[in-house]
Structure 1
């Protein structure tokens, strides 16, 4: 098992770096081009959310191996204000930033698994995974 890649998110350059690292790992795992794009899009959205809503946090990228299959797991964690209503932010069209609201529902659709843990005042951790076909 390879060591996790940890990218601290403090500015917009870090968002780009997280995307690049995700693309590199997904390419190394021989994900197809479409899945590489899905993974980098999901990472971009999670990193952007950290930057916009928490100010700083971390993206962690890990290689998964299970029953001969390989995959990628991405965790986004921060110590920001947390999410008051998780169900609401997972609804299509919901946006607190004036964006399109594709955010977290879009991330959930792009990946094979999606887990969110958030408490108001205590930050948020989102873990997503995609398995190679």
Structure 2
């Protein structure tokens, strides 16, 4: 993670196909989960990795809905050399995260919960990138490779 609160996966990947889901309601969170599950299964992820991906989508889409009320989840089937995977981008124009380091250490929760959702999602994925500020909102990008 850099000083600006950003972590990064430097691997360049080719996008094979992609889609988006607008997240404004609980029903949209369910749609995001279902779409991520279908794409991950089509790519050929194991049942365990599909579960990890769907869990991450659930957490990040729910956070986007709760804290920003409206956002976009973009999924991409990606390929880098012989590796294939999925990239998921959660982008909102909400108030931003005021304590990124605390969130990543699971020491900060806006909702009064345990504050482990983003940290847990980071552990489930192979790559994690987070940028957030009050002017632009929050963008979280995760990748899972086969």
Tell me the alpha carbon deviations over residues 84-109 of structure 1, each in whole angstroms, 9 at most, x when there is no partner. Answer: 12101111253211223221100100
Aligned length: 132
1:34 aligns with 2:11: no
Q: Secondary structure at the match of 2:141?
A: strand
Gaps of at least 5 residues in structure 2 are 1-14
Q: Secondary structure at the match of 1:13?
A: helix
Quote the residue 1:3 is aligned against: 17
CA offset at residue 120 of structure 1?
1.6
Q: Secondary structure at the match of 2:44?
A: coil
Q: TM-score under structure 1 normalisation?
A: 0.95
Aligned residue runs from structure 1 range 8-87, under 5 A: 8-87=22-101
Quote the residue 1:100 is aligned against: 114
Bigger Cα displacement from structure 2, 70-79 vs 94-103: 94-103
Quote the residue 1:124 is aligned against: 138
Q: Alpha carbon RMSD of aligned pairs, Å? A: 1.1
CA offset at residue 41 of structure 1?
0.4
Summarize the Cα distance change of 1:86–1:4 in structure 2 as closer, same or farther, 3 Å threshold. same
